[in-house]
Amino acid sequence: MTQILEKVTNTTFDFSTPVTANSPELQKLIDFIALGASERDRDRILPFDIIDLIRQSKLGALRIPVAEGGAGSTARELFEVIIRLGDADANVAHIVRNHFSMTERLLRAERSERNRRWLKAVVDGAIFGSAANELELKRAGGGGVVNTKLTPDGDGYRLNGTKYYSTGSLYANFLYVRLLTPDDTRATAIIPSNRPGVELVDDWDGFGQRLTGTGTTIFTNVRVEADEVILETDTDQDNLPYNIVPQLVLTAINAGIIRSVLRDATNLIHKRPRTFYHAVAEQAADDPLLQQTVGQLAANAFAAEAIILAAADGLDRLDVAKTQGEESKLAAALNASLGAAKAKLIVDDLALKSATLLFEVGGASTTKKSSNLDRHWRNARTLASHNPGHFKARAIGDYEINTTPLPQRGFF
């Protein structure tokens, strides 16, 4: 942290052009995000200033083609950046998860006039948040009930309803809302987060990912224009059978957490004025058991990153396959979904084990609340609890044994 402090204190940013995956300005931004991440998490300081910097940097346009004003990054480059963000601050990385998911859906759909309008907003710095989940929604067996519904209002609609677990929406410019049309057709709408009648409630009380704004969104007689509604049959609606990006982002953040754990473990050893009672070396840095533990953490970080990037390559192959016909596109989508699901099973486990190993390095003194080193385990556990791994493992096994298709949507 001291090195980061020296590097970014009084730092000024040049955001005259959108940051790219490898630009020095992006690294400056990531270093700045890392500064104070532990204190923000410990004291529950919401990172509005950090998200404003992300807006100014146009980081959200990373995947938008250069010809349309973005950075033109590959999926692999996007996930490299997400890992780095997860390393700097797992909360910030999670805040923009739904943004990158929504942007990817717009990019994979037809370029209608409204699609281009939303992508242009991203190029200008806008951030998307999600308001999709309802506690009443029944998913078992593929069923579903959506209570958030549009009612006619002149040439547009009014929206009423309540959504939960709206990650990132507290910081967003636009909300992606799942809803029913007046004739009970499932659809989505993209609307400004500051529109009259939209209430964003910061009531997330999870023990991890405390700053993500994963709270309640209430819609009270909110005006929705007709061209803000995307029907499932619309050509500018992504029609892939799997929702791959959201799950892989979560796993990539856990890979970033492992990198952060490795750095904290190394710093702890260098700062220890004494070592363990039964240690065989006088200096912690010379203790073979501590060296072994840090070596294992380094291997975990390497493996996690390699796994995430291999899964991200599946998304890049999907970009190629969509030009080769529907059959090739669906096969590539299946492989990308399998890759993301397999990545979750391994990387989540590595993250939780790594977060525990950190305390083998530092001992009881590292459990002090002021150190906040438990945030790594809390955050990793919270991220891993999204779409529990045993459901992924069962679906993968059923596919391998019986060629049963993977579940569609629902983060597969």
Residues 254 and 205 both lie in one domain: no
Q: What is the pLDDT of residues 94-109, one digit of tens each?
A: 999 999 999 999 999 8
CB 261 within 8 A of CB 358: yes
| Count of C-beta atoms within a 10 Å radius of residue 271 | 10
Domain that holds residue 52: 2-95
Q: What is the pLDDT of residues 344-401, one digit of tens each?
A: 999 999 999 999 999 998 888 889 999 999 999 999 999 999 988 999 999 999 999 9
pLDDT at 139: 54
- Does residue 115 lie in a domain region? no
pLDDT at 2: 40
- E strand or H helix that includes residue 355: helix 326-362
pLDDT at 5: 43
pLDDT at 284: 76
Domain boundary among 202, 231, 260: 231
- Does residue 249 lie in a domain region? yes
How many folded domains does the chain comprise? 3
Q: Which residues of the chain have pLDDT under 70?
A: 1-10, 137-145, 273-274, 276-277, 279-280, 409
Long-range contacts of 315-321 (CB under 8 A, 24+ apart): 315/75, 315/76, 315/244, 315/245, 315/248, 316/74, 316/75, 316/76, 318/240, 319/75
Residues 385 and 354 both lie in one domain: yes
Q: What is the pLDDT of residues 187-221, one digit of tens each?
A: 999 999 999 999 999 999 999 999 999 999 999 99
- Does residue 16 lie in a domain region? yes
Residues 378 and 250 both lie in one domain: yes
pLDDT at 3: 43
- Does residue 237 lie in a domain region? no
Residues 249 and 165 both lie in one domain: no
Residues 272 and 382 both lie in one domain: yes
- Does residue 117 lie in a domain region? no
pLDDT at 319: 85
- Find residue 133's DSSP bridge partners: 164
Instruction: Check which CATH number belongs to the domain holding 201 and give it.
Output: 2.40.110.10
Report the predicted TM-score, pTM, of the whole model to 2 decimal places: 0.94
Q: What percent of the chain has pLDDT over 70?
A: 93
pLDDT at 84: 98
Backbone angles phi, psi at 291, to 5 degrees: -60, -40
Residues 398 and 253 both lie in one domain: yes
Instruction: Check which CATH number belongs to the domain holding 35 and give it.
Output: 1.10.540.10
pLDDT at 10: 65
Instruction: Check which CATH number belongs to the domain holding 277 and give it.
Output: 1.20.140.10
Q: Is 45 helix (H, G, I), strand (E, B) or coil?
A: coil
Residues 214 and 253 both lie in one domain: no
pLDDT at 134: 87
